[in-house]
Chain A
Amino acid sequence: MNERTSARASPVAALVLAWAIPGAGHAYGGRWGKAGLFFGCIVGLLIAGMILGGGTVFSQHELWYAAQVWAGGPTIALTPISRYLSVHEGIDYADRLRETGTLYTAVAGFLNLLVMMDAYLKMAYPHGKAEKEKE
């Protein structure tokens, strides 16, 4: 893999990019394979959650949204659609599939948080933390 080793590469930029677009933090670091994997998995979970929940999964509750928003850009892009659908088609709170869809999107958010931390740490300590401490 062709990893970015330039001194100008910023771990904070990787963190912010990873939040804005899942996998973009790894792409910034030159890890294109992982970037594609993370993007596919996280955006796939969000889309699957939207389909399972009938499109209204981002209008469940603020606590759920606090987990979902870690998936960054895609969540923010899908929220207006979800709000529109929940106003015009209503929300069935007893629907089990909707609950499952909400869980899918919340887990996608938490997984992106993990991916963000990985992008930051791989950029801050490209050779592992132990080696950095030795220097």
Chain B
Amino acid sequence: MGEALVNFFAHLVAPWNPLWAYYPLCAVAAVVYKATKFDEPRRILRASLHFFLWVTGGMFALAVVFYLITLVF
């Protein structure tokens, strides 16, 4: 399972992974969404970074969980 997980992470961070094309889109969406909520530039920046990290981190965690489930079953 350890080797499979290492391969999984290697695929995730590989330069040819099409996911890289979606990160800038997510970052811009986070900035626009948070800019409609807050006025101060520093707060917008901090809130969008927080939002981006939580959403992408959550998706990443979900991907790992689903991958581990596929290894078990």
Binding site for B on A (CB under 8 A): 1, 33-34, 37-38, 41-42, 44-45, 48, 52, 96-97, 100, 103-104, 107, 111, 114-115, 117-118
Q: Which 10 A-B pairs have the closest CB atoms?
A: A118-B36, A111-B32, A100-B21, A41-B28, A41-B32, A37-B35, A104-B25, A45-B28, A114-B36, A107-B25
Q: Across the interface, which residues of B come within 8 angstroms of A48, CB to CB?
A: 24
Q: Give per-residue flags for B24-50: 1 if the beta carbon is below 8 A from chain A beta carbons, else 0.
A: 110011011101100101000000000
Q: Does B35 lie within 8 Å of A107, measured CB to CB?
A: no
Q: Does B32 lie within 8 Å of A33, measured CB to CB?
A: no
**How far does the Cβ of A115 sit from chain B's closest Cβ, in whole Å?**
7
Size band of the B side of the interface?
10 to 19
Binding site for A on B (CB under 8 A): 18, 21-22, 24-25, 28-29, 31-33, 35-36, 39, 41
Q: How far is the CA of A71 from the CA of B48 in the complex (A)?
A: 21
Q: Which of B22, B24, B29 contacts A111 (CB 8 A)?
A: B29
Q: How far is the CA of A107 from the CA of B25 in the complex (A)?
A: 8
Q: Across the interface, which residues of A come within 8 angstroms of B32, CB to CB?
A: 37-38, 41-42, 111, 114-115
Q: Which of A33, A41, A52, A115 contacts B21 (CB 8 A)?
A: A52
**How far does the Cβ of B55 sit from chain A's closest Cβ, in whole Å?**
14
Q: How far is the CA of A46 from the CA of B32 in the complex (A)?
A: 14
Q: Across the interface, which residues of A come within 8 angstroms of B36, CB to CB?
A: 114-115, 117-118
Q: How far is the CA of A114 from the CA of B18 in the complex (A)?
A: 27
Q: Across the interface, which residues of A come within 8 angstroms of B25, CB to CB?
A: 45, 103-104, 107
